[in-house]
Amino acid sequence: MALTVRRKSRPGSVGKRSRALVRPGAVCSPVARKRPSSAGQEPPRSNDSEEKIFGNYDGFYGNDSLLAQVGIEHKHLQDKNMDTKAPGDIICGSLQSGFHQKKQDNFSSSENMVVLKAVKEYAFQMNETDSVDSNQESTESILDDLPSSQLLYFEKMDELSSGSRISPVSERRNKCVSSSSDKIRSPSSFCPDAEHGNKPIDSDSKYDLFKTESLKDHIKSAMTGNAKAQTLQVSKTKQLKEAVLSEEICFARKTIKSSSVDIGPFYGLPSKVQDLLRQFRGIEMLYEWQHDCLMLESLQQRKNLIYSLPTSGGKTLVAEIIILQELLCRQKDVLMILPYVAIVQEKVRGLSSFGIELGFLVEEYAGSKGRFPPIKRRIKKSLYIATIEKGHALVNSLIETERIGDLGLVVVDELHMVGEGSRGATLEITLAKILYTSKNTQIIGMSATLNNVGDLQKFLRAEYYTSDFRPVELKEYVKIRDTIYAVDGKTENDFTFSRLLNFKYSSNLEKADPDHVIALVTEVIPQYSCLVFCPTKKNCENVASMVCRYLKKEFRAHREKEKQDLIKNLKNIGNGSVCPVLKETIPFGIAYHHSGLTNDERKSIEEAYSAGVLCLLACTATLAAGVNLPARRVILRAPYVGNDFLKKNQYKQMIGRAGRAGFDSAGESILIVQEKDKHLVQDLVKSPLENCYSNLLVQLTKGMQSLLLSLVGLKIAVTHEEVNDFMCSTLLGVQQQHLSKEKSVSEIIKDGLENLIEKGLLKVRLSEKDHNSICMLMITPLGKATYKGSIDLAYCNLLYRELKKGLEGLILESNLHLLYLVTPYDVTSNCSPDWMIYLRQFNQLSTAEQKVADIVGVPESFITKKASGQAIRKNVDSAVVNRLYLSLVLYNLLKETNIWSVSEKFNMSRGYVQNLLNSAASFTSCVLHFCEELEEFWVYKALLTELTKRLTYCVKTELIPLMEVAGVLEARAKQLYNAGYKTSAHLANANPETLVKMIEHLSRHQAKQIVSSAKMLLSEKTEALQEEVEELLKVPTDIPETY
């Protein structure tokens, strides 16, 4: 039975809760926790603007007879109240009943008569101003022409005065509202400017409040707010429903800005959000910790926040509610930074539905996708969902265009990644720039694995919230030989005996499975799901094959048809080819999951596992940090990732996948340990999480030097002293005593600046100030192109030279020469060419294409001698040789658009080919931005724009419009195209039920996501075009005048 915790708000802190869950609709907004006394209640504000803003209606200040009459009646009532001391309440501007508690006190009948009289007076004035219909329209028809929320306002007063009597306005409204449900338009629509409260006011203070806030001011305030809104020619039903949502959004926005007692239905958000969470996510209630976190004083005061909970604790939902508050209530853009492209794409699909319903845009910044700077929206606000690298480029573009203030909130998932290599350095740089350049941008960071939180708090100037809550209990075990021990930190050796494995092994099976993986997995599958984490990709495939080889035939019968459909789908993805291992294992409900799969294959396997068609995945550690695929039992095949011993952070990420909320009562993790590793594992389970340390010094070209270059380029810091000042706002500045023992940070900065000057990326100019010479740092054109293109400083000069050389004789008979120029430098070191394949591919090139090899420095004789095993006397740069080889792979991909056939032709894994393609698409986008900053490379702009698109999708041209929709990959695009859906407009207007019937292996949930994503894509494009039109039609302010 679902339980709701009722609790009283107390100033300053949240009390202890006695239950685990909280019903969302029953909670208050996190906006203001301080409850003012009735005596100190702030009087409502009124709008005193003297503009005539009522369109066809008379303004208050043009004809004040209505308000004068109200004032006379009101004064009479005040005198009467002084004599009789009759209790009365102030009517609330917001009439949405779900927004606050129902009022227990009603108007006195005499007060209501004043309101009704005012309505009639107002109706009479409007009839007089309309000469055509002055003798024909009744009061009812006049009310029809009022703005929808004003109808609600008058209707409420009418109801209060007449009790059971239903007014014509109410009668029509009830009829309209019950007739149909309407979509929600942008939250920027109108809201009456009125205050409200939900606390009874004692009789002694009522007169003072009544005296302070006259009824005249109330009506003036409400009608002024109504008049400001644009009147659209839409149905009354739509007006009424939009009025309800708009009032909720506007009220929530006001309560978030101010400290108010009554704070809305769902954490300051319209009740529609609660309905959408139930509809799209199946979320009926919030966990207690989620409520506590959302009610924190730090969030109400817009302070930065770091919060940490175990994996699967529900961290993301809290972030999403905060994001919606920023988009809808504060009307600011939001940046959400996620670690991997796949997670970005998953989140874009998941939040597009909310964007369509609530009127904001969801924009993807991953791979080659993203616009710099983003389009400045006039009406709708944008949620940018980005990878770490694209998030950095986006922030740079906002700072450069002086729009960083438009960014109200930045949310960082997996905050612990700030301590991981070059990507951690980029994340640190991004956050430091936001902290330094925008004092109003709030930063929220979340992670399951944080240790040195104090350093991160100082860096982000943030509050900290943590909890050990998990929706499903996690039980940790280790297995040594055939004995399973429970992990128990309270005991001396950290392990306590749990049980012996009860599985009969034959001698052959013992040899094949010495670690008893089969015994462990058959205890849970096929009824429940299981993940087996393996040290290497090859080990994943071996484990999957070994397990299915010794399973009973009964396992094949479990959801047999769906498993056959999955194999058929994988065959379509591979254009007739399917991995032999998967073909063998899938009939048993088993598959492997690692980077050797193509994007389409990985997605199909993930969907099948989530649906329960597959019950066991043998996977690498990357799954733990990737998409959410929980399991009843998680098995760690060995305490290693590759050849490295497992880190505590990695261990926690993996075991965190155990236990599915809503499905399992408990989750289990079992770490298989050899006797020789027992002591290491004991240290592992009792050790703390690893600390996060700045990587700015470790990653020089992607860290410190990259930061220095962009600081000068963005004019954030242009002197050595200003750079030193900025460094204090970095994580390195917080940790400098631990990290820079040999040299001071100031010396490291000096060395870095000198290095950039030597590379020709910066230059120095002397400037006179107060009779003192100051060295001002300036960026060169090459330096600007480098930071704006996000080019690694280790390769920027090489890239410039190669592009310059290309101008001398760019061969455009095919894409090969261009592909060589955009093949990523950092992938060449992992490439080992097969020389026979190299020679065969070279011989298949045309004469013009073979010239490309000569131009870049790989002569035909070199390839021939290598293929025949002859000695090479002339030195040839191996990086260039490898890069040309990878260019041939990309060249074949664009010709054939088939990863399977190309991987077979070059004897490479299809996953490697897929990753090469993704990297090339992203790097091509970077090179394009690089060339845009250098006039001499104008010729590359058009060429690289088209090439970026082709590499991004790598499909036949007719499928590209469909693949622009988030979540639609090549295999799905082919299905949709063959079914007649040939554009994103077709998908946006499709019926999800029809899609499910027409497209094989498409679930109803997937169909709805595709339709929502297509609608979001069209909405983005439409908004962009409308912005362009408005900009073109905008009248310049500096038009010369003739006299």
Which two structure tokens, joined as six digits, stand for 797?
């000069």
Look-up of token digits 């919606």: 324
Distance separating alpha carbons of residues 874 and 877, to the nearest angstrom: 10
Q: Of 638, 615, 574, whose CA–CA distance to 902 is shortest?
A: 574
412 forms beta bridges with 337, 445
474 DSSP assignment: E
pLDDT tens by residue, 694-732? 999 988 788 899 999 999 999 999 999 999 999 999 999
pLDDT tens by residue, 961-1004? 999 998 898 889 999 999 999 999 999 999 999 999 999 888 89
pLDDT score of 223: 57
Please tell me whether residue 140 adopts helix, strand or coil conformation.
Answer: helix
Asked if the model's pLDDT at residue 104 lies above 90, the reply is no
- Among 225-234, 285-294, 625-634, which is the least confidently predicted range? 225-234
Asked if the model's pLDDT at residue 376 lies above 50, the reply is yes
Distance separating alpha carbons of residues 276 and 273, to the nearest angstrom: 5
411 forms beta bridges with 336, 444
pLDDT tens by residue, 175-206? 343 443 343 333 333 333 333 333 333 444 43
**Would you give the end-to-end CA distance of the chain in angstroms?**
81
Which residue type does 169 have? V
Distance separating alpha carbons of residues 304 and 298, to the nearest angstrom: 7
pLDDT tens by residue, 306-343? 999 988 889 999 999 999 999 999 999 999 999 999 89
CA distances 744 to 95, 429, 735, 736, 747, Å, are 62, 19, 12, 8, 5
Please tell me whether residue 248 adopts helix, strand or coil conformation.
Answer: helix
Question: What radius of gyration, in Å, describes the C-alpha atoms of the chain?
Answer: 33
716 DSSP assignment: S
Average pLDDT, the chain: 80
Asked if the model's pLDDT at residue 916 lies above 90, the reply is yes
Half-sphere exposure in the Cβ direction for 825 (13 Å, CA): 14
CB atoms within 10 A of CB 219: 26
No. of H helices and E strands in the chain?
Answer: 44, 21
- Among 129-133, 454-458, 992-996, 1029-1033, which is the least confidently predicted range? 129-133
pLDDT score of 819: 97
Q: Of 318, 341, 41, whose CA–CA distance to 202 is shortest?
A: 41
Asked if the model's pLDDT at residue 554 lies above 90, the reply is no
Please tell me whether residue 581 adopts helix, strand or coil conformation.
Answer: helix
Please tell me whether residue 439 adopts helix, strand or coil conformation.
Answer: coil
Which two structure tokens, joined as six digits, stand for 452?
């040195």
Asked if the model's pLDDT at residue 794 lies above 80, the reply is yes
Regarding predicted confidence, which is higher, 121 or 252? Answer: 252
How many residues in total does the chain contain? 1043
Task: State the DSSP string of 620-655.
Answer: -GGGTTSS---BSEEEESSSEETTEEPPHHHHHHHH
Which two structure tokens, joined as six digits, stand for 413?
């998932």
Taking the mean position of all CA atoms in its chain, how far away is CA 923?
A: 23
- Among 98-107, 574-583, 901-910, which is the least confidently predicted range? 98-107
